[in-house]
Chains A and B, each alone.
Chain A
């Protein structure tokens, strides 16, 4: 028998206590959607129990977005209410905690609408989101919140109650809530991914070559591109875990150097539009051609948002020891799906992805950050050294660490 109240409480305690690591006296912002009330309330309760001063909940309803994209005047679609931007600046000044609950509650809410119009409304992503993340003023966490709407999209063949229970069980497993001590389980998994990240840092590759079915892409790195895993820290030194789950190690590439073609291995759910069968061709770092079997216009609209929107801001590698990939399920949620497979992101880079100030300035800047998944067991990953030597990094989804290093 599914005890979703208990699961919501355990998930909330992990997200609040370990993910965002809420501190006594903090303001805690929560971004949620209709259908996720149970987890939202559990998060509020857990946050207040840890001493939060105010839990600031903002709910975004995809059906309201549908009304806007369908009906609002053409010249109004890029409008972002100033108070939402100011609210995020306030959270930054206040050194607030931020928690976002992911998972589409109405996957098909924007079906049948013009994807180019849909791609112009990026809310709840804000023009200053990337800047605030890079300021490292807030301790934050994104975590999945199961809802019946989401469950129906992931398991369409199952009865509603069944689908909902399956989604909760999957999230319980993926978030390691089924471990005796979920926080400890995450520390151990992160330690393993960190070993790979440290090896990649030590290699100082000039580029990473990704090749597999439909993909042959070389992504240039900056001299001080740094690989990260799991844990982060605010500028003031509060440790936090920005994604639960997190199975990836990621870096910020050289936005001027990406050559070749990539084919996405999973569909992407972008601001309400479903984009499937993505193929992107890069020349001199820029996406010069964007195709998709479905929803190409939404991705093209996002990539045309600003100058950096057509360049890469992130390259992330995911090995098969993660718990998302083993589910062999498309969750239609970037947080989960990006941790199933290696991926690249168009748009803004995380400033912490490069060590040197000169390189930080070179990292990509944009008002968007769109991850799409390109990994699979068939995807081979090689590192290219400055001397042009090719070093195998990943085969069959497994890290090829030198024998002297053990994950």
Chain B
């Protein structure tokens, strides 16, 4: 038992009972990685204690993936074993719970791999993943699973044990496990976010403009674009919290209308590679030019995956009241970093961000969904009304609506 067993246990409790909201007799799928065994086991125990019928754990290993990327035949890299897709469809049919552990297993593992090859293997993300999310058949959550390798990448100056302790402490804080009652703390924060989302939806902006250093991007919304906080309902009404932590309100934009240029404010990990210093030019909704100081090929490969991959499927705003931004740390994990700052996503949209089925038909569909952080206190966010009027939405990270 490690020094962090108690933290793992409390995070597992939050993930199972509040995040996925596991119900008695459910199948509970867990996607984990080598190195995250302690949290994985804790989740399995809590899930069975909550009445789970079967905890279905699949463990990925990025160092096995590295061998594939380095050595497998060129024409095999997009192959997805059929059982993975069948398993996801089965989980969907079973109305299962799904829990995924995030955080890079082996940061830098793919540094010496051809990024164009790395971008072709998207596993464990599956071609059917967005479809299942949009069908709202499963109650799911993603939580961070700290490991020493991840911690050392985040806190490069610290000794391994100290780095892991700091990462666990940060995760504990951002997941509000340090509150007397984490569920009550989350319920309160979700109420705030839901209020902001409701006010934004009521404004019925035609577009959102992001404006700051290196960024001047106007993103069109669809007539029924709804702002949401990340408290989801399954199609039968079961509530779940798909991301812990979450600090964002988000919507699904018009994939045909994005114009201007955007500069990322944080690096991210993408398919095992670090992508940093990204600048994307949009025209007519499409990313027509992608530059990056590091990892440009990886991002370009992802964006050329299919037609929707170069269009926007998500726009999310993060205010300064969250717990991640103030840490001023790059965690190299999208789950956490996307909740530090406002972000956009290339690829598939979320149907629940649209209230009109006709708009759902129009949203971006893609095999990919890649979040890119574009916000900072220096980036102003305005709403643009149908008549072209500009209304301040975020200034210095504070809500103006």
Contact = CB atoms under 8 A, between A and B. Distances in A.
Interface stretch (A52-60, A196-204, A372-380, A388-396): A52-60
Contacts of B63: 37, 41
A81 B56 contact: yes
A45 to B, nearest CB: 5
Interface string A57-70: 11101011001101
Which range holds the interface residue count of chain B? Answer: 35 or more
B76 A83 contact: no
A40 interface: yes
A37 B61 contact: yes
Contact of A68 (B44, B70, B79): B44
Contacts of B76: 53-54
Contacts of A52: 72
Interface stretch (A71-79, A211-219, A257-265, A306-314): A71-79
B83 A90 contact: yes
Nearest to B66: A41
A282 interface: no
Given A54-B79, A59-B59, A68-B44, A45 B54 contact: no
Contact of A55 (B41, B48, B68, B83): B68
A402 interface: no
A68 B55 contact: yes
A48 B67 contact: yes
A86 B87 CA distance: 9
A51 B37 CA distance: 31
A63 B57 CA distance: 12
A44 interface: yes
Interface in B85-133: 86-87, 90
A160 interface: no
Contact of B44 (A45, A55, A64, A73): A64
Question: A64, A68, A70: which has the most chain B beta carbons within 10 Å?
Answer: A64
Contacts of A79: 53-54
Contact of A41 (B48, B49, B59, B61): B61
Contacts of A59: 34, 59, 61
Chain A interface, DSSP helix/strand/loop, else mixed? helix
A41 B64 CA distance: 5
Interface residues of A, number: 37
B86 A86 contact: yes
A387 interface: no
Contacts of A70: 48
Contacts of A87: 81, 83
Contacts of B72: 48, 52-54
Contact of B67 (A44, A76, A86): A44
Given A34-B34, A72-B48, A86-B86, A57 B61 contact: yes
Contacts of A73: 25, 51, 53
B17 to A, nearest CB: 15
A82 B89 CA distance: 11
A70 B156 CA distance: 40
A34 B37 contact: yes
A174 to B, nearest CB: 26
Nearest to A47: B67
B61 A61 contact: no
B64 A64 contact: no
B386 interface: no
A83 B90 contact: yes
B3 interface: no
Interface of A: 25, 27, 34, 37, 40-41, 44-45, 48-49, 51-59, 61, 63-64, 67-68, 70-73, 76, 79, 81-84, 86-87, 90
17 contacts: A48-B67, A48-B71, A53-B72, A53-B73, A54-B81, A61-B40, A61-B59, A64-B44, A67-B48, A67-B55, A68-B48, A68-B55, A83-B86, A83-B90, A86-B83, A86-B86, A90-B83
Given A59-B59, A67-B55, A70-B48, 7 more contacts: A41-B64, A44-B67, A44-B68, A45-B67, A51-B73, A72-B52, A82-B90
Name the 10 nearest CB pairs between A and B, nearest first: A71-B48, A48-B71, A87-B83, A83-B87, A59-B59, A67-B44, A44-B67, A45-B67, A67-B45, A76-B53
